[in-house]
Amino acid sequence: MIFILVCLLLLPSFDMVKGAKSRRAKFDEETGAPLNDAARAILVRHRHDADAVASSGSREDVVAVFDRLPEIDIAEGVWKYVLLEIEVDGRRRHIVRALSGLHYHAEIYELTAAQLRPLGIKCRVVGGGRINKNSSTKTIDVYGYSKTFGRAPGCNQHAADIIRHSIPSDFDVSWSDAGY
C-alpha cells in the first residue's frame, strides 16, 4: 500500500485536476479570498490538517516515505508555489511545490496535502509566491507572495535555499520579496 502511495506522490500531479472545471476552487485574483465552496473547503481543510492524522502503514513505513519525499517539485515556466511544512512523529521539514496547471496557492496545497494525509503526514502552508524556472538558461527565480495565505517574511529566501540544495549546482537561483 505504501509503495502505491509513494508512486502516486511521484507522478505528475496536474492530470488529477483536469476535467474538474466545475468543481475547481476559485479565488479572487486581487485579494486571494475564496470565491466558491470548493475554495472555502480547501481553507477549512488547511486549518484542520494540523491536527488530523491518518495512517495506512506502520510508523516505520510512514517515516521512510517522509524521508524520501523530494524537497522540491517545480514545473518548467512561471507558476505559483507554496512552501510547506510537513511533519510526522514530531519530525518536521520544509518542501517546495510549484505545479503546472494549478493556478492558486491553495490548489497546490490541497493536492499535496491530499497525497500526504492518507500516509499520516501532516502538512501546512508556511508561505508562497511565484517561481520562474527556465531550464534552458538554468535559472530559477523565487518572488512575490500568496494573497490567500498572506505574506510570510523570509519565505522566498528559505524556498530558494531549499531549491539550491536540491538541484544541480549549474542552476542560478535568485529570490526577491518584490512583485506578485
H helices of 50-104, in order, are 59-68
pLDDT digits (tens, 9 = 90+) for 74-133: 999 999 999 999 999 899 999 999 999 999 999 999 999 999 998 889 999 999 999 999
The answer as to whether 5 is a domain residue is no
Region 50-66: mean pLDDT is: 69
The answer as to whether 143 is a domain residue is yes
How many angstroms separate the Cα of 82 from the Cα of each of 56, 70, 102, 175? 26, 14, 11, 14
**pLDDT band at residue 8 under the 50/70/90 scheme:** very low
The answer as to whether 159 is a domain residue is yes
The answer as to whether 6 is a domain residue is no
pTM value is: 0.74
The answer as to whether 48 is a domain residue is yes
Q: Which domain holds residue 159?
A: 24-175
Residues belonging to the active site: 105
Domain with 165 in it: what CATH number?
Answer: 3.50.20.20
The answer as to whether 53 is a domain residue is yes
The answer as to whether 137 is a domain residue is yes
H helices of 50-137, in order, are 59-68, 105-116
Query: Domain tally for the chain?
Result: 1
Is 133 assigned a ligand-binding role in the annotation? no
User: In the chain, pLDDT over 70 holds for what percent of residues?
Assistant: 79
